[in-house]
Structure 1
Amino acid sequence: MAEQIMFTQDNRDRIHAVENSFGPKGKPLSKLGRVLIGEGRLMKLSRRGPQPKVFFLFNDVLVYGSIILNGRWHKKQKIIPLEEIQLEDLEDSVTMRNQWLIRTPCKSFYVAAPSYEEKRAWMEHIEDWRSRLLQCGGCRPGSTFAVTWIPDRASAFCMRCSNKFTVAQRRHHCRKCGFVVCGACSKMRALIQHIHPTKWLRVCTTCHSSLSGMHGKTPEMSRQLGTSTEKIGSDGDEVEGSMEGSSEEEEAEEQMEDHVPSRWMETLMDSWSPYVRNKPDHLRPQT
């Protein structure tokens, strides 16, 4: 009983620290029964290249955000329920090693760990706690997932009309297929329920035609964009980075090389609920 009381207080303090690190704009994370399982830094592939992000795994959600002030403060908090996550293991690519794909209904993205061991640890912990959550019977697994966006640098031409991208002819992404397209080929917006039930999202002409065929050409299902070339993103961190991106990629790689390894709490199971125990260093047995 004393250990459970000590753990409950330690867990509450850790969650409170994570909550405070996102500042006043972050959503509350304290919740009855919520346990912090582990934390660490991973590379997340955004439109302009890999970016280091901080990730926190809880027993019911995965939280991540951008790193500022040497990791002591974070911003752009994202919270994903574990039951809505689907993982896909991937081989190493030219730009990212030890990578895997995280699929969710609202957004799907690539992440990479600094080592194969950390990659396996993250994937196994997420799958393990997702399975436990689903076995409780109160949650249902997600069935529809967002596509992954093709990186900007993957194409110098619009993937619909083949026009070359320039400073004036900017890149955009179709939220339905993830293709890199020009403004002329992505003037339409549509409602994509699993991404956002009320927000009008940019779609390419091909996907708009298919959506119109499925739902009928009604004002409620589609809307034309104006002539503005403003980039519209479903996630603020997608537009981070310079147009070239090479210097930021090098800086991101350096940050990952110097980063503190992911920290996992020791799991303690009792007869009624999963617990996590992480004793302070001065209380751990000396080896």
Structure 2
Amino acid sequence: MVDRLVNSEANNRRINFVEQCFGSSGQPLVSPGRVLVGEGVLTKLCRKKQKPRQFFLFNDALVYGNIILHKKKYNKQHVLQLENIKLEDIPDDGVYKNGWKIINPSKSFAVFAATATEKKEWMAHIKKCVYDLLIKRGITQTSEHDSPVWVPDQNAQICMHCKKSEFTVLNRKHHCRKCGIVACNACTSKKWLLPQQSSKPLRVCLTCYNQLSLSSAPPVSSRDNNKIRKYTPINIPDSDDDSSDDDDEPTPSVDTVDNNTYESQFQSYEAEEVPDYKAGQTHQ
């Protein structure tokens, strides 16, 4: 079904419409061979709380963004390549139900669907698209450089590294970009370059820093005068930004709130007869 939609006028209109919804701040989404497989609203677990995000599943990418005006306007666009995506189930636990992890080298996070049926649909469609893409490109996945899913702030009252430091207004919470734990400033006072996540060195905990230092040390035969390379700590001020880049969203206007009712059900475009976008109108 996806192959049949590749050059269809309906598919081209849908992708163009989604691209327009993100405005000039988003990346171009129209690409040869790209198909919009489905879309829907999922609840993303951010560092402070759960927040609704609009997701678009393409046959080669997963795109999501903040909802400014549902079905009309989104911002803070993220494009994840499907060939790098892996899914991991999250068992239901209290208020956290119908969830799974989206694992990726550049960014990993947890999402939750409104119902078990919707979760099943989302995971099945994503897995199928990933499988088809890997077969088509003749490649295999690796987990070596996957980024961690951050532990939510609310799950840590004391530093998860030293197990001693209590968090306060002055003693802020920080995340290790390598393992995802919540730790104090002293326990995340070093940085390391993680190319899959950023072009700049990122904050990591002491344990991860030591492990990364050891794994990157040169062989004994290549060390000058048999001296072991030493790594100097990088002192990071406690005011260093530790927020997730899509954790904050703009406060909607009154008009936006009145019209911003979310339809979380996964909408697939692989069916025999699919709803179409009408010029100048929102999704049907």
Alignment of 1:60-139 (within 5 A): 60-139=60-139
Among residues 239, 245, 260, which one is paired with 1:236 in the alignment?
Answer: 245
Other structure's SS at 2:38 match: strand
Which structure is higher in strand share? 1
Measured after TM superposition, the shift of residue 137 of structure 1 is: 2.9
Q: Which residue of 1 is the match for residue 270 of structure 2?
A: 266
Q: Which residue of 1 is the match for residue 53 of structure 2?
A: 53
Among residues 245, 255, 274, which one is paired with 1:278 in the alignment?
Answer: 274
Structure 1: distance between partners of 2:55 and 2:8: 22
Q: Which residue of 1 is the match for residue 150 of structure 2?
A: 149
TM-score where L is the length of structure 1: 0.80
Other structure's SS at 2:246 match: helix
Q: 1:172 to 1:6 in 2, by over 3 A?
A: closer
**1:75-112 CA distances to partner (integer Å, 9 max, x unpaired)?**
11111111101111221122321111111112221111
Structure 2: distance between partners of 1:192 and 1:204: 13
Alignment of 1:154-165 (within 5 A): 154-161=155-162, 162-165=164-167
Measured after TM superposition, the shift of residue 280 of structure 1 is: 4.1
**1:30-87 CA distances to partner (integer Å, 9 max, x unpaired)?**
0011000000000010100111000000011010111112342111111111110111
Structure 1: distance between partners of 2:5 and 2:147: 41
Q: Which residue of 1 is the match for residue 237 of structure 2?
A: 227
Q: 1:5 to 1:177 in 2, by over 3 A?
A: closer
Q: 1:223 to 1:29 in 2, by over 3 A?
A: farther
* Farther off after superposition, 51-60 or 206-215: 206-215
**1:133-173 CA distances to partner (integer Å, 9 max, x unpaired)?**
11113544243321111110111111123211111111000
Q: Which amino acid aligns with 2:76?
A: K
* Farther off after superposition, 128-137 or 59-68: 128-137
Q: 1:22 to 1:85 in 2, by over 3 A?
A: same
Q: Which residue of 1 is the match for residue 189 of structure 2?
A: 187
Structure 2: distance between partners of 1:148 and 1:114: 21
Taking every aligned residue pair, what percent have the same amino acid on both sides?
38
Structure 1: distance between partners of 2:63 and 2:83: 13
Q: Which amino acid aligns with 1:8?
A: S
Q: Which residue of 1 is the match for residue 213 of structure 2?
A: 212
Structure 2: distance between partners of 1:222 and 1:85: 34
Q: Which residue of 1 is the match for residue 11 of structure 2?
A: 11
- Alignment length (residue pairs): 254
Structure 2: distance between partners of 1:218 and 1:228: 28
- What are structure 2's unaligned runs of at least 5 residues? 218-227, 251-259, 279-284
Contact 2:42–2:264 (CA<8 Å) still a contact in 1? no
Structure 2: distance between partners of 1:37 and 1:177: 32
Other structure's SS at 1:64 match: strand
Structure 1: distance between partners of 2:124 and 2:277: 25
**1:203-227 CA distances to partner (integer Å, 9 max, x unpaired)?**
11121112112213869x8761432
Q: 1:204 to 1:96 in 2, by over 3 A?
A: same
Q: CA RMSD of the aligned region, Å?
A: 2.6
